[in-house]
Structure 1
């Protein structure tokens, strides 16, 4: 099953667990102190009230004064004492409560990285009847709006296979659905542990050929349902594969757009591309040899070679280290200060970010070599199912758009959009 990123570092995990003990003890002690402080001030109030009552009744017996004056003196003493006690209690309570809240915030921060992460899924409600296709490496899920559809074409958002659950693409799908593409589906990438090695007795390969074949099956199904080819949206990694699918099957797409996809890795310099070309394509083989593993017999994908998703996420942490440090400092501060709304957003993000999926080695190998090292789709040398294709083969019948982000650590803007000017049609 998918696992936590932190299990990659057992000593760090054990250290964080040990840090929780004194913090929890301190929080428990402070909670007890808060309770006893309240009891203590109540006892002092009762004692002083009793003393004032004695003063009121016995003072006339010791000095020559009337009862009214004694009552007034008693009231003044009691009011002054109450004001002093209330001020002292308020100040002490504020300090204790702040200290307690800060310790609880620190505990919650540590628990985010030490406790079992909740399973990730799509937030939109769906059941098995909404799973249109359950393919070896992908699931196609219908999240259409329950309205009369003015646009008959499906919109379909392809999520990336990047070490995380595919629900990263959900907000894009829901936004486009709310803007008028009411027939909407999402494509979920499965964890390698859930991808069978054999389908109907035949070996299944989850490489570029295998992915494009499954993409084709998805597009055929959606077109068959409505009679209209779907609008295609690729988030990051599926971009080159969706373009390849349309080159081979141009009748299956109405429009095609890609956001943050490594479409043209020659478009501009980027850390990932520069590193891949510096170390060469053999580097991935050494990495797989050292860090790959075979899925155990307790999983559906028994026998499949996979790349540890924790290492993929570690790479993303490294690429965005400055931003992650800022995020985590802000999260800790929000937790300690009791800013629940802000803290919940960051907690939800890191629960998703640290909940890792493993990737089939064939897919990782092809992505590294064919996209980041050799840029084969742009060079016109990408082989899919034995046929060599390139960006210049893109069909003019399918309108295309692309988006890039200047803060993208994987595909800088011109890598995400640089293919557009190379399309002849």
Structure 2
């Protein structure tokens, strides 16, 4: 019960801060406050506006807001989101464009379940849509899932991916980003042994912890030094009475957000200070750079306790993937069984979450895969987010990924070394 009370206490603190911001903004907006010039009122209003928005978006799932896509002949196509597979802990969704010729590149984006919603990959989706038929894993917030839905750990996550790949068929190219990289690799190995015809044509693994010990970071150091008992006592709580998942044990999104911010506390503090100054001066806008980033960054979701704890224990501490000793549903997968799926590794030189070498370790596990089907790219100067959503992704990595997809699908059409759209 104390964990449920702690969960509700965090929600109460968030709600109180949102109320304080709204109150300050409303107070400073009274007409009488404009009778005389008073810079202090402008500062109160600016603080209130930024504070209210900051704490409000912590519990709101962002919309996809995918703009129309311009394809061949300059025609704009609206993007419609359809659910292909619906499951308690996550759906497989499809970004369709009515009236567009079917794309020859079918891509499944495997989104992280690491505190943020799948909309974290919104820019990645937008960048791929002109050239690909895009599907994505849309994971649900654990606080909204009733206890009656059962558990969800790393094995369940892997089996979800297995089912999604089977649903989409073998004419598929999978791109996994960050946290799901080792589990996507495991799902592919599982298919290689249990249902070879359902394997995708290629895997692109971006900045994921296949072997966390290959290059230690603050994240891996934390996982190594803290015991599982300490994690369970300090990080796990029960969902409060406000949500459908009441009683479910989770790693709360608000607690995760506190950890995210603490890693770069000074940077975030400066960002909010500068935004308050811009609002007070009338220089801020609804969709300025600050709001565009923090609307997504601050929107966090709860993870099931079993998923979080099994990730730490089996992926980071036990290094079951790195040691080729991972068991799914009673079956020990063998990465050597992957013999036909082309695999490309993408890492960022300045990635401080999954440092260079952690993802590259996947190629060493693929002893049954010919070297001709292995590829790797280290993006100079790129941090973690830059390798899937920033300018490094758009200008350098994305073209390489599309070229890799074409090379391993038999539909490559190149001109002067560049990828030509197949739409």
SS of equivalent residue, structure 1 residue 404? strand
- Counterpart Cα distance in 2 of 1:16 and 1:219: 41
2:50 maps to which of 104, 109, 120: 109
Q: Structure 1 residue 355: deviation in Å?
A: 2.7
Does the C-alpha gap of structure 1 residues 198 and 103 become closer, same or farther in structure 2, counting only changes over 3 Å? closer
Which residue matches 1:194? 144
Contact map agreement 2:17 2:52 (CA 8 A) in 1 = no
Does the C-alpha gap of structure 1 residues 298 and 13 become closer, same or farther in structure 2, counting only changes over 3 Å? closer
After superposition, residues 131-280 of structure 1 pair within 5 angstroms as: 131-146=83-98, 147-151=100-104, 153-178=105-130, 180-181=131-132, 183-198=133-148, 204-223=150-169, 228-250=170-192, 251=196, 252-279=199-226
1:317 matched to 2:270? The reply is no
Contact map agreement 2:21 2:49 (CA 8 A) in 1 = no
Cα-to-partner distance string for 1:109-143 (whole Å, 9 max, x where unaligned): 2222344654423223877x810010121111110
2:345 maps to which of 394, 402, 411: 402
- Counterpart Cα distance in 2 of 1:130 and 1:15: 36
- Counterpart Cα distance in 2 of 1:26 and 1:299: 33
Q: TM-score, normalised by structure 2?
A: 0.71
Does the C-alpha gap of structure 1 residues 415 and 7 become closer, same or farther in structure 2, counting only changes over 3 Å? farther
1:32 maps to which of 16, 31, 34: 34
Which residue matches 2:62? 120
Does the C-alpha gap of structure 1 residues 114 and 265 become closer, same or farther in structure 2, counting only changes over 3 Å? closer
Contact map agreement 1:256 1:398 (CA 8 A) in 2 = yes
Figure out how many residues of one structure are paired with residues of the other and give that number: 344
Q: Structure 1 residue 326: deviation in Å?
A: 3.2
Q: Structure 1 residue 98: deviation in Å?
A: 6.7
Q: Structure 1 residue 407: deviation in Å?
A: 4.3
Cα-to-partner distance string for 1:75-105 (whole Å, 9 max, x where unaligned): xxxxxxxxxxxxxxxxxxxxx4976654432
After superposition, residues 338-377 of structure 1 pair within 5 angstroms as: 338-341=282-285, 344-377=288-321
- Counterpart Cα distance in 1 of 2:247 and 2:167: 30
- Counterpart Cα distance in 1 of 2:251 and 2:202: 33
Which residue matches 1:91? none
- Counterpart Cα distance in 2 of 1:247 and 1:115: 42
Q: Which has the larger radius of gyration?
A: 1
Which residue matches 1:51? none
Does the C-alpha gap of structure 1 residues 9 and 318 become closer, same or farther in structure 2, counting only changes over 3 Å? farther
- Counterpart Cα distance in 2 of 1:253 and 1:412: 26
Kindly indicate which of the two structures has a greater share of residues assigned to helix.
Answer: 1
After superposition, residues 291-310 of structure 1 pair within 5 angstroms as: 291-295=235-239, 300-301=244-245, 303-310=247-254
SS of equivalent residue, structure 1 residue 414? coil
Contact map agreement 2:253 2:303 (CA 8 A) in 1 = yes
Q: Structure 1 residue 240: deviation in Å?
A: 0.8
Does the C-alpha gap of structure 1 residues 387 and 310 become closer, same or farther in structure 2, counting only changes over 3 Å? same
Contact map agreement 1:130 1:142 (CA 8 A) in 2 = yes
SS of equivalent residue, structure 1 residue 249? helix
Q: Structure 1 residue 218: deviation in Å?
A: 0.6
* Segment drifting more, 97-106 vs 190-199: 97-106
